[in-house]
Amino acid sequence: MSAPGRLPRWADYGLLPLLNLCAALLISGLVIRLIGESPWAALKLMAAGAFGAQDSVGYTLFYATDFVFTGLAVAVAVHAGVFNIGGEGQAYIGGLGVGLVGLAFGSWSPWIVVPLGIAAACAFGAAWAFVPAWLQARRGSHIVITTIMFNFIASALMTYLLVNVLIKPGQQSPESREFGPGAVMPSVHQALGMIGIPFAPSPFNLASLLALAACLLVWVFIWRTRWGYALRVFGQNPQAALYAGISPQRTILVSMLISGGLAGCLGVNELMGSEHRILLDFPGGAGFVGIAVALMGRNHPAGILAASLLFGALYQGGSQLAFDMPHVNRDMVVLIQGLVILFCGALENIFRVPLAALLCRAGGSGRT
Amino acid sequence: MEPESPAPEAPGGSPGPALELRAIDKRFGAVHANRAVSLSVARGSIHGLIGENGAGKSTLMNIVYGFHTADSGEIRVNGRRVVIGRPRDSIEAGIGMVHQHFMLVERFTVLENVVLGAEGGRLLGKGLGEARAGLERLGRDYGLDVPLDAETGHLPVGMQQRVEILKALHHRADILILDEPTSVLTPPEADQLFRMLALLRDQGKTVILVTHKLREIMAITDRVTVMRQGAVVHETATRDTTPRALAEQIVGRAVLLRVEKKPARPGPALLEVRNLEVRDRFGVPRVKGATFSLRAGEIVGIAGVSGNGQSELLEALSGIRRPSGGAILLGGRDIAGENVGPRDRRGLGIAHVPEDRLRMGVVGSFSAEDNSILGYEGRPEFSGGGILRRGAIRSGCERKMAAYDIRPPAPRLRITAFSGGNQQKVVMAREIDSKPSVLIVGQPTRGVDIGAIEFIHRRIVELRDAGKAVLVVSVELDEIMGLSDRILVMAGGEFVGEVSGEEANERTLGLMMAGVRGDPRK
Amino acid sequence: MKPTRAPLALALAATITGAASAADFSPAILYDFGGKFDRSFNQSASDGVQRFTKATGIAVREFEIQNASQREQVLRQFSRRGASVIVAVGFTQASAVETVAKEFPDVKFAVIDAVVELPNVESINFREQESSYLCGMAAAMASKTGKVGFVGGMDIPLIRKFALGYRAGVAYVDPKAEVIENMTGTTPAAWTNPSLGAELAKSQFGRGADVVFHAAGATGIGVMQAAADDGLLSIGCDSNQDYLHPGSVLTSAVKRVDVAVETVFTDAKAGTWKSGSRVLGLAENGVDYSLDEFNRKLMTPEMERRLNQAKADIIAGRIVVPEYKSP
């Protein structure tokens, strides 16, 4: 007997997120209307800001790359039934790994340093996820709490390191010196330039390929390996996992290590790909956006890719909106982003039941 | 009363119908759960509603109670048409429901639970005072003695059920619907319940008993309605029918009610359990000093009221729970330690069909094929180098589906879209296909329809005949008696008796199961 | 800054006018985290913008940063849309200014609180330690308990600069006085958390402090509110914040970001703008302590005399205020 509110796949993965998005945009439009701007113009500005020019597309994809990493990080943990809120901190510490490699080996060949940096990002991010995971697996400490705490610890640690240890001597800003030339992930405009295709400069870099590879690997891991299978069994039904002989502790640890490693890769995109130095707060909330991205993407890499693009466009388009509409300030943009997260994440089910009823009625009358 | 009319339009006998359903129709997406169901329940009678799982009984009752709304059709109570959109409407119409899973707040006292939803005024104290007087009167009238101030969660299940009935009566129900009420009761408790229901009927209340147990229908109901595939297929006065006739109506064809098997030829002991002690997570011993052996070529049944240590015994044998004492010898090797977990035990030839399929045996959100490798995903036929062999898994599942007549034969379909019987067949197929030497089965046919029960029983007997050892735990006495070559009775965590399959009868087993319950442990 | 219902037209107009002729003057400003209404550092810059607009009638394009990657992007966009001069407020903008200034050598840039050595960049820094020193003196003189507080935003070099000057000023007046020091946090949220500021201030009061100096951006609003609530004294920062709680704000360590911003725009418009590094201290009127009708009653003539004396000594080099150097 089907539960009320079960939808066909196309509606669950396509129509429902679209409806949620429209609802979010509708309310945002109302707010924009309220402050005396035209919602339609705002929407056009946002769309043009996100996709209207080469560098806009570059920025959109750059942000999207961040969100792919953090979204995948959340999704892998969710498949194991673990809610990892610590993507932000893991990304921050992952970036520390990238940065240390960049500072120490920046003069070496990029063919060595870039893979080393990626490895360090994964290792540092995973290490930062390990402690909360271990506490959950062995001590039963609630992982939501511990990962949040670890976000704060990460930011305290990074502030300390940047202010006291890694800061470029004689400088005000708490930033490290620039990495050497070896620790630079080529940007897409450079890469395209080399093969003769001109592209406007943007931070969009080859870490995006890493993100695509990560999508594929996560898909293979979750749906095509026995470990991913075990992870899903545990996440969906811990009792069945016990019955099958799947160790809860190991599953939690493995899922969190992978999750942390993925979040850590954000450091590759931000630091090796764009900033080329370690600076304060470079994850900029992408770890949290990852939660919304995973929710909206139904924890599937393809969905996460799509949701990341949407959020990348929201970020880039939103900044363009703030740039071009004097009355839409930064907080308005945050509000719009927040509404999208609210509707696509927290309230994603508000249209589910009515939609299911509607489809059911349409389907039922079609048959009789 | 006209014996064969499915929906009498006019009151045929002296009392008019208390509840009348006319052409109730309900769809859930593609599932046509109720097809123009008409039903008439005479006032002051006990009316049985029987059918396989998924026949639409629960949907129908949930429509009457207001959990679902019918797509079309009408409901009449005492000849008056009522519109029921939510449970409150049905309560106001005088309908009360006792669910299979009690809807009680365990931390509340009986009194608080009973007044829940009918508090009467803003101040709880006044409502409680009135309720107490009313309940004491109800208790006297219907023989429903319940300690009003006890914490509900601490009462035995039989008592909790009375609380539910009391609650319905307190809400002024004239029509009482009971959904599978005996599934949690010992035979003596069930008898007590039936006496209570008879008393209610004699006082003029109307009772609808939803069940899949033929025995209960025959024992207590006045009339019985059979549902199959969402429609009413048969209705008759109970005294005019037989269990076999009803079973044929339920399944739609002739069925065997008894398990056909040759006498067992037991071989050497494959599994020996000595002095096993298992504690739950609170450290309370649930299995105390269990000692028995399981021989090749025999089926050993463990009878007992649910919650008397059977679950813990199963978990200890399958490696899910580590016993706190004793030994489990498999071919002379003690495997009671923690380092021989469920996966290792499967490797050693112990397969396990868990008693709670949806909680443990399958992953509800997975497809049938993904469920068909649960616990075996690391075996070389299903994965190599860590990568799952999708093709092999699919074809393996298709083969099992064919061999076990699993319908629909769709490996990619979500497991919860299958009926209970077909889900159980997926689990049985998985475990038997792993070629075990010892099969441990908990509640082999819980929530399984009659047709599949027959099939599953046959498979278990086949396994025995192939020289394997089978341990069956079931709360269905008929099943235990029908299947087992040897029966052990469990009560209070201990084995309180052993009888051979041929000698066993309901009375001796029931006494053994219940006798120890006098033990004031709870 | 007038409300408009035709933003597209405006944007278009800005682009067209920017491209139309070089004589058209188009200034822009990029604020830091905290936003232009933080009643402190960014707001001070915003005041300068408004004064410039009022004086000349020329609108200034503004943008408040939301994440780190936007810096370069916005600077680039300003440049491309024909901005003549761009002010980047805050030390975090340094690297972005450096990158974009190289790409647009014809655009004039000014960065505040950081140094970028390029021919088209003006770097404006302040000797915050000097005003902090005076505020420390004022705090020590006004304190009855011999304990004074300091609430910083984040533990970063800039804030350590404030703290060091403040401590030196306190010690100059009363070597035995105790300075209780707290930082608000380790994320950018530390600049925008008034409730935490209030809590820190209250805990410092609980430990005996009766004057508290904040260098915490919008977080400082809470610090000052707490002081006003408890009938104690606070010292404002960056902008002149004496007016916020008259009778409770002892003085403010004023940092004339507004003047700096306005000067950049005015000079650029007049064609007298020069690149290079400028450091503004007491001598240049870049920093100061505030004295106006809101805090006049809190300052005794004796305090005012000693503060002005110290100010003169610092300008003359007779007092050397210690300056924080990053490791």
Contact residues on chain A for C66, CB-CB shorter than 8 A: 318-319, 322, 330, 333-334
pLDDT at B6: 42
pLDDT at A226: 94
Considering only CB atoms, C73 lies closest to which of A36, A59, A329, namely A59
| Residues in chain B whose Cβ is within 8 Å of chain A | 27-31, 33, 54, 59, 71, 318-320, 341-346, 352, 354, 359-366, 370, 373-375, 377-378, 382-383, 386-388, 390, 417
Q: At what angle do helices A54-79 and A248-264 cross, to 10 degrees?
A: 170
Please state, in angstroms and rounded to a whole number, the distance separating the CA atoms of residues B272 and B419: 36
In a domain, A33, yes or no: no
Contact residues on chain B for A216, CB-CB shorter than 8 A: none
Contact residues on chain A for C103, CB-CB shorter than 8 A: 201
Considering only CB atoms, C66 lies closest to which of A36, A167, A330, namely A330
Beta-bridge mates of residue B272:
B293, B329
Q: State chain A's mean pLDDT as an integer.
A: 88
Mean pLDDT score, A345-363: 72
Contact residues on chain A for C95, CB-CB shorter than 8 A: 173, 175, 275, 277, 279
Does pLDDT of A302 surpass 60? Answer: yes
In a domain, A310, yes or no: no
The answer for residues whose C-beta is within 8 angstroms of residue B394's C-beta and 6 or more apart is B369, B411
Mean pLDDT score, A20-24: 86
Class of domain C128-255+295-316: alpha beta
Secondary structure, 3-state, B79-96: CEEECCCCHHHHHHCCEE
Mutate to test the interface with A, among B25, B28, B227 (most CBs of A within 10 A): B28
pLDDT at C129: 93
C222 torsion bin: left (phi>0), alpha (psi -120 to 50), beta (else): alpha
pLDDT at B125: 60
Does pLDDT of C6 surpass 50? Answer: no
pLDDT at B101: 73
End-to-end alpha-carbon separation of chain A, Å? 20
Nearest partner of B68 among C253, A153, C234, A3, judged by Cα: A3
Is the omega angle on the peptide bond into residue B408 within 30 degrees of 0, that is, cis? yes
User: Residue with structure tokens 């909680």?
Assistant: B359
**Tell me: the pLDDT tens digits for B194-205?**
988 998 898 889
Nearest partner of C303 among C314, C317, C315, C289, judged by Cα: C289
Query: Residue B508 in contact with residue B500, Cβ under 8 Å?
Result: no
Polymer length of chain C: 327
Q: Which range, of A316-330, B285-299, B433-447, C226-240, averages the lowest pLDDT?
A: A316-330
pLDDT at B244: 81
pLDDT at B4: 42
CATH number of the domain located at residue range(s) B269-366+417-518 in this protein: 3.40.50.300
The answer for residues whose C-beta is within 8 angstroms of residue B1's C-beta and 6 or more apart is B8, B12, B13, B42, B223, B237
| CA distance, residue A10 to nearest chain C CA (Å) | 35
Contact residues on chain A for C5, CB-CB shorter than 8 A: 36-38
pLDDT top residue among C213 and B126:
C213
Nearest CA in chain C to A333: C66
DSSP for C70-101, please give it: HHHHHHHHHHHTT-SEEEEESGGGHHHHHHHH
pLDDT top residue among A141 and B185:
A141
A–B contact (≥3 CB pairs within 8 Å)? Answer: yes
pLDDT at A363: 56
pLDDT at B117: 67
CATH number of the domain located at residue range(s) C7-126+257-280 in this protein: 3.40.50.2300
Mutate to test the interface with C, among A177, A319, A331, A332 (most CBs of C within 10 A): A319
Mean pLDDT score, A266-277: 92
In a domain, A133, yes or no: yes
pLDDT at A57: 93
Q: How confident is the model at residue C104 (pLDDT cuts 50, 70, 90)?
A: very high
Polymer length of chain B: 522
pLDDT at B127: 67
What percentage of chain A exceeds 90 in pLDDT? 52
Number of A/B CB contacts below 8 angstroms equals 90
The four Cα atoms B505, B507, B508, B511 give a dihedral, to 10 degrees, of 150
Identify the burial level of B480 via C-beta atoms within 10 angstroms of its C-beta, where 0-12 means exposed, 13-18 middle and 19 or more buried. buried
Does pLDDT of C22 surpass 50? Answer: no
Mutate to test the interface with A, among B26, B340, B387 (most CBs of A within 10 A): B387
* Total domains present in chain A: 1
Chains that touch C (3 or more CB pairs under 8 A): A
Q: Which residues form the domain of A128?
A: 66-220+247-292
pLDDT top residue among C64 and A263:
A263
Mean pLDDT score, A260-276: 94
Nearest CA in chain A to B390: A224
Spell out the domain ranges in chain C. Answer: 7-126+257-280, 128-255+295-316
Considering only CB atoms, A323 lies closest to which of C63, C156, C157, namely C63
pLDDT at A360: 66
pLDDT at B123: 56
**Tell me: the pLDDT tens digits for B271-287?**
999 999 998 877 888 89
C–B contact (≥3 CB pairs within 8 Å)? Answer: no
Q: Which range, of B78-82, C118-122, C196-200, averages the lowest pLDDT?
A: B78-82
Joined together, the tokens standing for residue C82 give: 């024909």
Q: How confident is the model at residue C12 (pLDDT cuts 50, 70, 90)?
A: very low
pLDDT at B13: 42
Query: Residue C261 in contact with residue C55, Cβ under 8 Å?
Result: no
**Tell me: the pLDDT tens digits for A156-168?**
999 899 888 888 8
Q: Which range, of A296-305, B184-193, C19-28, C39-48, averages the lowest pLDDT?
A: C19-28
Tell me the backbone φ, ψ of residue C116, rounded to 5 degrees. -130, 120
Considering only CB atoms, A171 lies closest to which of C66, C77, C326, namely C326
Interface residue C104 vs chain A (CB under 8 A):
no
Residues of chain B with pLDDT under 70: 1-15, 29-31, 53-54, 117-127, 253-258, 514-522
pLDDT at B121: 53
Q: What is the pTM of this model?
A: 0.78
Interface residue A244 vs chain B (CB under 8 A):
yes
Answer yes or no: do A2 and B28 touch at CB < 8 A. yes
